[in-house]
Amino acid sequence: MADAHQHAPESPASGGAGPSRRDFLRQSLRGAAFLALGGAAGFLASRTARAGNIWQIDPYLCVQCGKCATHCVLNPSAVKCVHAYEMCGYCELCTAFFEPDPNGLNTGAENQLCPTGAIVRTFVEDPYFEYRITEDLCIGCAKCVKGCTAFGNGSMHLQVRHDRCLNCNECSIAVACPAGAFKRVPANRPYLMKGKRSEP
């Protein structure tokens, strides 16, 4: 009759076929890595599933409240000022660029409305100037947009830049927006630009 303990696995210390502590840890780490990869794949899949619709700002509803700069999960915000050049008056006194009472119509920092110097003013020909947004400096505070909308032609407006946006399931800016200007739009038509009002 065979010995009863003959079929029992040998202990790791005996040098037999049983798994060593090192093998056990290696297998555990490998399993954890697979779980992590699976979680990452699931996250990417969920983003892909949501990618059919993405967040955007309706520039005709935006009230330039400043919350785009402070409520985005990213710092700086994924919301940036954009400029509809075909609408711009190329004004010498641009109310999006200048403080309400500038000491001169020049690019001195004390005269600029933008807190980060994100707007570049370039002379074209008398009396016209071009204004361009340096998006890397823009924080989405909407001060320039407010000035342009109140006293200019509204050519500057805010948009979510999708090379930065995480497309959160519940956008924290959308929750805070007092005007309901944030909406889901089709990913193949991601921008709602001034002068090109989106279909309802």
> pLDDT tens, 100-125?
999 999 999 999 999 999 999 999 99
User: Is the per-residue pLDDT at 39 higher than 70?
Assistant: no
Q: What is the pLDDT of residue 9?
A: 42
Measured CA angle at 191 (ends 162, 146), to 5 deg: 100
Q: 128-133 and 182-186: which strand pairing?
A: unpaired
Q: What is the pLDDT of residue 50?
A: 53
- Collapse the DSSP code of 117 into the 3-class scheme (helix H, G, I; strand E, B; otherwise coil) and give the result: coil
Measured CA angle at 79 (ends 96, 94), to 5 deg: 5
The one-letter amino acid code at 32 reads A
Going through the chain in order, the beta strands assigned E by DSSP cover 53-57, 79-83, 119-125, 128-133, 156-160, 182-186
Q: What is the pLDDT of residue 95?
A: 97
Q: What is the pLDDT of residue 130?
A: 97
pLDDT classification of 21: cutoffs 50, 70, 90: low
Q: What is the pLDDT of residue 167?
A: 97
User: Is the per-residue pLDDT at 36 higher than 80?
Assistant: no
pLDDT classification of 40: cutoffs 50, 70, 90: very low
Q: How far apart are CA 113 and CA 99, in angstroms?
A: 5
Q: What is the pLDDT of residue 58?
A: 97
User: Is the per-residue pLDDT at 51 higher than 70?
Assistant: no
pLDDT classification of 19: cutoffs 50, 70, 90: low
pLDDT classification of 195: cutoffs 50, 70, 90: confident
| Averaged pLDDT for residues 15-40 | 52
Q: 79-83 and 182-186: which strand pairing?
A: unpaired
Structure tokens at 76: 């700086």
**Which residues have C-beta within 8 Å of that of residue 2, sequence separation ≥ 6?**
none
| Averaged pLDDT for residues 71-100 | 97
Burial of residue 109 (number of CB atoms within 10 Å: 0-12, 13-18, 19+): exposed
